[in-house]
Structure formats: structure tokens, C-alpha cells
Amino acid sequence: METVIEIEFLPGNNEQVIKEAAIVSDGAHIHFLFRPPYHMEPHGSKENGLNWEEGFLLYSQVQTVLTEALAPYDHLYAWGEDKCLLGDILNRPIHNLDAIECPVPSKLKATIHCQLPCHSFQDMRCALRNADAEYS
């Protein structure tokens, strides 16, 4: 079985911090929003509308939560090299959809909506909608 994983980041202290993660496969949509890993002046992103302060899951759980959620799948896909780097944390390869000429997510159409208020606008980049679009 295969699945697509999508991530939206926010800039942290000289690094990209995972904010929103989505895992989409046949009949399954799993959505995660992580709390900030450390204190920083609250900031957001114009591209994805997410804010530093929001989130439900502890950042220390990123690895555990994603590893468990991805365990049932044999093949993982993500769009873009930066997201495939997540494979290093998960200790398994993630195939790059960009490299196999899957169209840019923004050119694809998602069939679902994200429940985050900041993602009710279609022009906001959303990990859940992107993952859904890439999977289909």
C-alpha cells in the first residue's frame, strides 16, 4: 500500500519547523498540527496561513506520531526534496513525486476541505489538500 505525505513548515531558529502534516491514502486522511518546539516571537506564513503559536500535538512527538501513522504503508511519497528529507527522521525512504514528474500540487485539485479556519481560503497552501490532490 502506498501513501502521500505532505508538510507545511514555518521558519524557526535557522531551521524549518514542521507545523502541519497530512497523510493521505485510499480512504484515509490523517491530519496533524504540531505545537511550536520552543518559544519564539509569534509569526506566520503568507503562503500557508499557519501561525507559530497554534497546534495540538507536542513537537517532541513528531517522529513517534508520524512513524506510527506511516507504519501500515510500504511506499511513501512526497512532493519536493525538502519534504523527502523527512525520511531521515523516519528512517525510511520517501519517494519524490517531483522527480517522477507528478504535477505541482497547486495545479492539482483536492476533493476535500481542511477544517483549519486559515485554510478555508483556496489560495492558502494546505498540507491536507495538497496530499489529497497528489494522491488522486
Alpha carbons within 13 angstroms on the beta-carbon side of residue 76 total: 23
Q: Could you write out the three-class secondary structure of 68-97?
A: HHHCCCCEEEECCHHHHCHHHHHCCCCEEC
Indicate which single residue of 24, 66, 76, 116 sits in contact with Zn ion (rule: CB under 5 A): 116
CA 27 vs CA 22, 65, 99, 112, 136: distances in Å: 13, 19, 25, 12, 11
Contact mark string toward Zn ion, 73..112, x via CB under 5 A = ----------------------------------------
Which CB atom, from 88 or from 120, has the smaller least distance to Zn ion? 120
Residue 126 in the binding site for Zn ion (CB under 5 A): yes
Alpha carbons within 13 angstroms on the beta-carbon side of residue 129 total: 23
Which CB atom, from 84 or from 116, has the smaller least distance to Zn ion? 116
Residue 7 in the binding site for Zn ion (CB under 5 A): no
Residue 66 in the binding site for Zn ion (CB under 5 A): no
- Yes or no: say if 2 and 74 are a contact pair by the CB < 8 Å rule: yes
Which CB atom, from 82 or from 88, has the smaller least distance to Zn ion? 82
Residue 119 in the binding site for Zn ion (CB under 5 A): yes
Residues forming contacts to Zn ion in the complex (CB under 5 A) are 114, 116, 119, 126, 128
